[in-house]
Amino acid sequence: MRIGIYGGSFDPVHYGHLLLAESAREQLELDKVLLMPAATAPHKRGQESAPADARIEMLELAIGGHAALEISRLEIDRGGVSYTVDTLSALRAEHPGAELVLLVGGDTLADMPNWKDPEKVVSLARIAVVDRPGISMEAVKLPGAEVLCVSMPQIDLSSREIRSRVARGESIRYRLPRGVEQYILHAGLYTNGVSSATDD
């Protein structure tokens, strides 16, 4: 079993997230990809976000029953600040025989030496880096790790931009699945300052 782990706020999930997950699944021959919404990311403490259950529901609408994409509530249910090393340790205990592959963008990989216990992160999972706009893949290196590379069509979307557009009353059509768009509008998300939080 080869399992991809794709963490993030998913606030909200958009087509860039989905294309990354599917590109990695296909190119790395992953049996499944776990979409892992964070309870609280270490670098986003103090910022507003949509409630955890709303982010989970939007993910469920977005993946639309894709058999190889699975939503994990591990970090949401654990609560508090989410550190990748703790999540990977928990997943290793749940799936002792599986190969874990951590999916990150080139911008994230460049910051990994500053993460909590980066050496242990590398020992628990293989690292796969995905092309992102403005990131030179040749410059992306992580000491002590063989880094796998995933290519995907470049879609310059961000959750922050989507939240900002909602807050300004602008269209978000075709930036995310229609069901997610309708959920956001019907639930009244991102209309009271949530758009100021930074996110991928």
What pLDDT, in 10s, does the model give residues 148-160? 999 988 888 999 9
Cα dihedral value 145, 127, 136, 17, nearest 10: -170
Task: Give the model's pLDDT for residue 194.
Answer: 46
One of 3.30.43.10, 3.20.20.70, 3.40.50.300, 3.40.50.620 is the CATH number of 2-153, namely 3.40.50.620
**Greater confidence, 169 or 80?**
169
Confidence of residue 200 (pLDDT cuts 50, 70, 90): low
Task: Sheet containing 32-37: give its strands across.
Answer: 69-71, 32-37, 2-8, 99-105, 126-130, 147-150
Average pLDDT, the chain: 88
- Alpha carbon distance 44, 31 (integer Å): 31
Domain boundaries, the chain: 2-153
Confidence of residue 135 (pLDDT cuts 50, 70, 90): low
Q: Which amino acid is at 200?
A: D
Residues 69-98 pLDDT 10s: 999 999 999 998 889 999 999 999 999 999
- Alpha carbon distance 103, 66 (integer Å): 18
Pairing of strands 69-71, 147-150: unpaired
- Alpha carbon distance 83, 112 (integer Å): 11
